[in-house]
Structure 1
C-alpha cells in the first residue's frame, strides 16, 4: 500500500474520491520509465536507485505519482540485500576491534582493512575493498537491488489505482458491503480474509437477494490510531474477487487539511464492483477440496431439476458466520444447504459441528466421511438426525438429492447412486 503522504484525493460535500490514473500513452510511458529505472539499477545500491529516481522526478508537477509508482515497485517487485558471504555486523566487529590497537591514520586504515579481510576470508578470498564495502552494507541506502520482477506498465498503473483506493480506508471505522448474488460466489474467501485481518463482522440478508456485511468496531478501542482502517484497506483486494457488490466506508476526516473548508463530522468513501479496480491477491480456487470438486463433477452428470450452487449462502451464527459448501435449488423455489465434512483435524471438527448446531438451521444436509474419527475428536453428530449422510470415499449425489426432497417436502427421486 502507499504511505499517507503519497495519497491523492479530493473531498466534495463529504464524499472522498481517490486519484486514478487512466491507461493513456503518457501514463504508460511514465510507468515504463519508472520500471526501466529499477531494471537499470539491479545489482546497484539503493542510494543509486534513489538518486536516479530523484533525477527522473526533477521538475515534474506530478512527482507524487512517480513516487507512488516507485514505492509500489520497491515494496512489491524488488528484493534488496546486503550481498557478500560475511554479515556486515561481523565485519564491523572485526574492524572496530583491530582499530582499538592504535591511533587512527589513513595509512593504518588500509592495514586494518587488509587484516580484517584476511581474518574474515571464508569461501572466497576477501580484499580490503570488499571489507570497506561490506562495513555498512546492511544500512537501507547501502543495500543492493538483488532482484527485480517488473510488472507491465499497465499493471503498475492498475496497482497504483488500487493502492489509492486502499489508502482511503486508512481512516475508516465502519465498512458496509452489500454483496449481491454472486456467480461464482466468493463469500468464503471474503470471510477468511475478515478473520485473517481481525475485522468484526455482522451479516444480514439471504442468498436470493444478497447480503449486507457490516465491519466495524468501537473506535474507543483503537483511540486515535488507524489500525482498524489499515485492516480494512488490506481486506479490499479480497473483495474485488466477488462479482457484484457495493461498498460504503465511514471515515474520520483529516483535520490537517485546511483547504477542505468547513469541517465535516465524517467522510464517506463509496466503491462498487463496476469501478474497474483489479486485485493483486490470488484468485480463490473454485473448490476447497477434492471431495467438493468430485461431488460437483458427479452431480453435473445426474439428470435432475435441482441446481447445485457453490457457496452462495451465508449463515449467521452468534459470534461467527458459516458458508455451507453448496446450495441445492429446485425450480419450484425449494432449497437446502449442503455441508461436506471430510477434514480430520479434531479442533476443526469440533468447531465445524459446534457452528452448525449454533446456526439453528434445519435445512442443512451434513455429509460426513466414515473415515473421520469423530469419537477421538469428541464430536457426536447424532443430534443432526435425518439430516446426516454418512459416505465412504465419494459422496453419491442421489443420496443427497433424496434427502433434499424429504427435507423440502417433495417426493424422493427414483434410483440410488453407487460410488
Structure 2
C-alpha cells in the first residue's frame, strides 16, 4: 500500500475520489522504466537506487505518481546489509578500540586495520572491508538483494488499487451490499474478515441483496486508524467477489489546508464494476475433493435438476452459512451443505449454525469418516434432510432428498 503522503484524491460534495492512472503509452513507459531501474540496481545500495529515482523525477510534474509507483516496487525488493560480517559486530569492535586512542584521521585507518585483524579469524578482512561494513545496515546503505518485477500494466493496476486502499485508512465503518456469488468467493471474503480482525454483521436475503456491515471497537476511537488499515488490507479480497457495492464512512483529514473544516464525514463509494484488479490469489472453485467430486458426478446424470455454484449467504444469529451448492428444478430449489472437515470445533460451530438457521431446505451431507462423538455432535435431528456418505457423495441420494424437501420460490 501507499503511505498517506503519497495518496492523491479530490473531494466533491463530501465524496472522496482517489487518483487513478490511465494505462496509456506514457504511463506504461514510465512504469517500465521504473521496473528496469530496480532490476538494474540489484546488488547495489539503496542510496544508489534513490539517486537514480531522483534523476528520473527531476523536472516531472507527476513526480508524486512516480514516487508512488517506486514505493510499490520497493515493497517487492529485499534490502539487507551487504557483506559477510555483521555491521553491529564491526561497530562494537571498532568503537571499543577507538576509545583508548585520541581520534585522528591516521588513527581511524589504524583502528580499522586493527579491528580487521581481530575479526578475521574465519574470514580474511581489511580495514577497507570494515569501513564499508561499519554502517551497512543503515537504510540508505542496505543492498537490494532481490527484486520481484511486475509487468508495467500490473504496476499501474497495483497503483490504482493502492490509492483506493488508502481511502480506507480513515474509515470507521464499511457497508458492503453483496449479491449471489460462488461459495468459494464468499468463504474467502469471510476468511479475510477474520484474518484482519474485522467484525461483520450480515443481514438481508437473495431478493434484495446481503448487507455486510464491518465495524468494531477500535473504530470508536477517532484518532485510531488501525481499523481502517485492516479494512484497506481486506479490499483486494473483496475484488474477487462479483456484484457488490461498497460504502465507507471516513474521518476527514484535518492536515490538508484545502479541506473544508466544516466537513464532519467523508464518504467513499466503490462497486464491482469500477475495474480495480486484485493481487490476492483467487479462491479455488471448490474447497475440497468432496465438493469437486460431487460436481463431476452430478454433471454425468440425466436429470432436470441443475446444480448451481452461485449460492446466497444465509444469515443466522451469531454467524452466517455458506452452502456449497444449490439444486434448482423450475421454481423449486434446495441448498446442499457438505460436511467433510474433521476439526471438532469446526463441526460444533457448523452444526450449531445449521440448527440456528431453521432452514428446512438445507440438505446436510455428512462423511461417516468424521469422529462426531469426539466433537460432541449429533446430526440426527436433521431427520430426512441428512445424507451419510463414506468415500464419495452419491448425487442420486442427494436428489432423492431434494425431491422431498425442496422449497417453491
TM-score over 0.5 for the alignment? yes
| Cα pair distance change 1:404/1:311, threshold 3 Å | same
In the TM superposition, what are the counterparts of 1:8-157 in structure 2 within 5 Å? 8-75=8-75, 77-121=76-120, 124-157=123-156
| Cα pair distance change 1:51/1:375, threshold 3 Å | same
Find the counterpart in structure 2 of residue 346 from structure 1: 344
Find the counterpart in structure 2 of residue 358 from structure 1: 356
Deviations 1:78-125 (A, max 9, x none): 111113332222222222233334333333333332333333336643
Tell which deviates more after alignment, 176-185 or 31-40: 176-185
Counterpart CA distance in 2 for 1:297 and 1:220 is 45
Which residue among 368, 372, 375 is the counterpart of 1:374? 372
Q: Aligned-pair distance for 1:394?
A: 0.6
Q: Which portions of structure 1, spanning 4 or more consecutive aligned residues, are displaced by more than 6 angstroms?
A: none
Q: Is the 8 A contact 2:307 2:326 kept in 1?
A: yes
Q: Is the 8 A contact 1:170 1:226 kept in 2?
A: yes
| Cα pair distance change 1:113/1:219, threshold 3 Å | closer
Q: Tell me the number of residue pairs that the alignment of Structure 1 and Structure 2 aligns.
A: 408
Counterpart CA distance in 1 for 2:327 and 2:131 is 70
Specify the SS of the correspondent of 1:186: helix
| Cα pair distance change 1:119/1:219, threshold 3 Å | closer
Deviations 1:192-246 (A, max 9, x none): 1111112221222334553222212356633311112111111111111112211
Counterpart CA distance in 2 for 1:122 and 1:172 is 56
| Cα pair distance change 1:91/1:322, threshold 3 Å | farther
Q: Aligned-pair distance for 1:186?
A: 1.6
Counterpart CA distance in 1 for 2:177 and 2:25 is 36
Counterpart CA distance in 2 for 1:207 and 1:271 is 21
Specify the SS of the correspondent of 1:259: coil
Find the counterpart in structure 2 of residue 267 from structure 1: 266
Counterpart CA distance in 1 for 2:366 and 2:122 is 57
Specify the SS of the correspondent of 2:366: strand
| Cα pair distance change 1:206/1:152, threshold 3 Å | same
TM-score, normalised by the number of residues in structure 1:
0.91
Deviations 1:300-333 (A, max 9, x none): 11112222222522121223222122222222x2
Specify the SS of the correspondent of 1:32: helix
Q: Does 1:389 align with 2:381?
A: no
Unaligned runs of 5+ in 2: none
Q: Is the 8 A contact 2:16 2:267 kept in 1?
A: yes
Q: Aligned-pair distance for 1:185?
A: 6.3
Q: Aligned-pair distance for 1:409?
A: 6.8
